[in-house]
Amino acid sequence: MTALRGFTTVTFFADDLDAAREWYTRVFELEPYFVRDGAYLEWRVGDYEHEFGILNAAYAPHPHSPAAAGAILYWAVDDVEAAYRRLLSLGATDHDKPTERGPGFVTASVQDPFGNILGVMLNQHYRDVLAR
């Protein structure tokens, strides 16, 4: 079985990444630990170092869809491809095919039958926290 292990990353979208960085840095009282200039920002926040990301809306899987204005909550899984295929077999539709985002980080997302976006992610940071 491809179990959903826990939340890993919440991704919000912003048209103005610089303004989003300034605002969320003030909110979290912390600079992002990961920055892809012009594309993505990520903070590790709270007791369990949950990941909160801001993606430039231009890079959203479907930049002109209503989902681009919302959030995608990613669930940690051990096998992104298998979890993605299982969700599709249960009636979800493709939102963003499995994609490697960097070493140890693979994401995919589907739209559930009700219009919500569900993400799955292989996330090395999540595994590292569990190992502690």
For residue 13, tell me if it sits in a domain.
yes
User: For residue 1, is it within any domain?
Assistant: no
What the block records as the tokens of 72 is: 């995608």
Residue 113 neighbours by CB distance under 10 Å: 10
Can you give the pLDDT at residue 62?
65
* Domain-located, residue 106: yes
For residue 119, tell me if it sits in a domain.
Answer: yes
Domain that holds residue 127: 6-131
pLDDT of 107? 96
* Nearest residue to 15 via CA among 89, 94, 68, 66: 68
User: What local confidence, expressed as pLDDT, does residue 129 receive?
Assistant: 86
Reduced to 3 states, what is the DSSP secondary structure of residue 96? strand
Check if the beta carbon of residue 75 is closer than 8 Å to that of residue 5.
Answer: yes
Count up the domains in the chain and report the number.
Answer: 1
Q: What is the pLDDT along the chain (132 residues), one digit of tens a residue?
A: 567 788 888 888 888 899 999 988 998 889 999 999 999 999 998 878 889 898 888 887 765 555 555 678 898 899 999 999 999 998 999 999 999 998 989 999 998 876 778 899 999 888 888 888
Q: What is the pLDDT of residue 120?
A: 92
In a domain, 123, yes or no: yes
pLDDT of residue 14: 86
In a domain, 41, yes or no: yes
- Asked whether residue 77 is domain-assigned, the answer is yes
CATH number of the structural domain spanning residue 12: 3.10.180.10
| C-alpha span between 127 and 80 (Å, rounded) | 14
Residue 52 lies in a domain: yes
| Residue 65: predicted pLDDT | 58
pLDDT at 57 (0 to 100): 84
